[in-house]
Amino acid sequence: MAGAVDLSGLRARADAARTAPPPGSGASARQGPPPGGSADAGSWVIDVSEPTFQAEVLERSLQVPVIVDLWATWCEPCKQLSPVLERLAAEGRGTWILAKIDVDSNPRISEAFGVQSIPTVIAIAGGQPVEAFSGAQPEPQIRQWIAKLINEFRDQLPGIKAAEQAAGGVVVEEEADDPRFTAAEDALERGDYPAAEAAYQAILDVEPANEQAGAALSQVRFLARAEQTDPSAIVAADADPDDLDAQLAAADAEMAGDQVEAAFARLVATVGRNSGEGRDRAREHLVSLFELLAPDDARVTAARRALARVLF
């Protein structure tokens, strides 16, 4: 996976993480029941602090893997990655737990693991860090990463099978590696976005309905643009509504900043102000942003209706 982290240092510091202050009164209100219990979609996502780290991460990881999401409010890639992890945690139905840690409020935890940048995601199993990556990643890659983790520890951590039995069967299954996807993922690991885009497009040329490739392609294209996006693009676009390139760049900046509705509204308005090629560019850019979210996302539905009104 692109952004993979060398775990040698993390493992060496695992004992330091174990010496975090003793548990306090528990995690925040998002904490759910133990693995295997019944719960709503938010039950498998917990907010963890320094006083609760020992109990909520290390001790829980003796039952199921705990995936630690190290984030901060100012971190734009974190705003892109965290919702994906939360959605996948809900789908996992307790086979793993997502522990969210604000590094600004809990600096000793990130220091204990020697974290150099955020977002950083660390999988803890049996009280030890076992897998990690940094930076926002395409959802298909994260799904595959989690599936491998669950399959690796299914026979070692009793809570995984307990959660799966409660859910009525195996929740997370690892799919056989597809060499076409492997080539795309290798390109991402090299930071070669054009090669990754070409690899995913090649899959879609043969299998136009391949949802995994389609989703990954949209993510790769957005990640490539987002890396080049200047946050000041929003100010520039607001100052000149007729600058089409500025509007497209500003929408990307807003999307990266989790201002989804603002990005959609900006592009809908841009479609309405333009005609011909300019209108087509704005519409296509908006549709590409739709593809970053689930088709039934209420924000996508509302924006599609608004787009239809300005087009027809």
Which residues are known catalytic residues? 75, 78
What six digits make up the tokens of 247?
Answer: 């509007």
Angstrom CA distances, 113 to 108, 203, 302, stand at 9, 38, 42
Alpha-carbon span 180 to 9, nearest angstrom: 32
Q: What is the 3-state secondary structure (H, E, C) of 207-233?
A: CCCCHHHHHHHHHHHHHHHHHHCCCCH
Contact by Cβ (8 Å): 102, 73: yes
* DSSP class of 259: -
Phi/psi for 123 (5° steps) reads: -95, 125
- Cβ-based neighbour number of residue 228 at 10 Å: 9
Round to whole Å and give the CA distance between 190 and 186. 6
Rounded to whole angstroms, how far apart are CA atoms 256 and 82? Answer: 12
How far, in Å, are 110, 251, 295 from residue 298 at the CA level?
35, 18, 9
Q: What is the sign, positive or negative, of the torsion defined by CA atoms of 150, 152, 154, 156?
A: negative
Omega of the bond leading into 119 within 30 degrees of 0 (cis): yes
